[in-house]
Amino acid sequence: MSWKESILDAFEVFGPASLAMVSMSEAIIQPVPPDLVYIPMLLNDIGEVEVVLLLWLVVTVSSVIGSLIGYLIGQRWGRSLITKFGSPSHVQKIEALTQRYGTLGIFIAAFSPIPYKLFGWLAGMGEMDKRPFIAAGLLGRGLRFGLEAILIGVYGNQAFEVLMWFLDNEILLAVVILLGAAVVWSMWNWWNGLQMEAIEQS
């Protein structure tokens, strides 16, 4: 039995509330994505629109609530840890990062395989405004889980197999996304540098 299956089996004792518990705890600290509980539930309830909408609402809202708890943890203890083991400049950099890219970063993390919890902690450390933090989380998570519901509803078992493949390889996909973003960022800076050089030479 894999570590993911062990965690999922532990949550099964809570019955219908298992989806909310897995979703909330994943957004705080634990590594098992709620999709592993959510997608099989969708497959079992194909055609039951009201049930699917309820599942979508539960997994989305509970995930955002969990991220808000992660935010509060980062706000309460993250800054003191960085100050203790780092320097005040590190705190200032995190604040600048969350103020400049916070909303977009939260949305991307909420929608993609990039760890959502990590951005929740960082947002708390950087004292990001809670309103855009929650809004970006609701939008990103809502789109992610809504898209899964639509795919399962339209393609059934075929979509199930593809989505499970993505979940099994989510760490690799997250690394690829982050590396791709780094490459795009470097190329963008290089392009802007060329423009500045052309202006200075003229």
pLDDT tens digits for range 143-196: 999 999 998 887 777 777 877 777 766 655 556 666 766 677 677 666 666 555
51, 131: one domain: yes
Average pLDDT of the residues in 33-61: 88
134, 69: one domain: yes
The domain in which residue 179 lies consists of: 171-202
85, 180: one domain: no
74, 104: one domain: yes
Q: Which residue has the higher pLDDT, 36 or 99?
A: 36
54, 134: one domain: yes
Q: Is the separation of the CB atoms in 68 and 138 below 8 Å? A: no
3-state SS class at 151: helix
189, 98: one domain: no
Torsion of CA 19, 22, 27, 32, to 10 degrees: -120
Residues 77-126: tens digit of each pLDDT: 877 777 666 666 666 666 676 777 778 888 887 887 777 888 888 888 88
90, 143: one domain: yes
Phi/psi at 129 (5° precision):
-55, 130
163, 185: one domain: no
134, 57: one domain: yes
28, 59: one domain: yes
Domains of the chain: total: 2
43, 55: one domain: yes
Q: Is the separation of the CB atoms in 106 and 169 below 8 Å? A: no
Residue 140 CA to residue 189 CA, distance in Å, equals: 27
184, 85: one domain: no
Host H or E run for residue 73: helix 49-73
Q: Take residue 176 and report the two structure tokens written for it.
A: 């690829």
Q: Take residue 15 and report the two structure tokens written for it.
A: 């019955």
Per-residue confidence at 45, pLDDT binned at 50, 70, 90?
confident
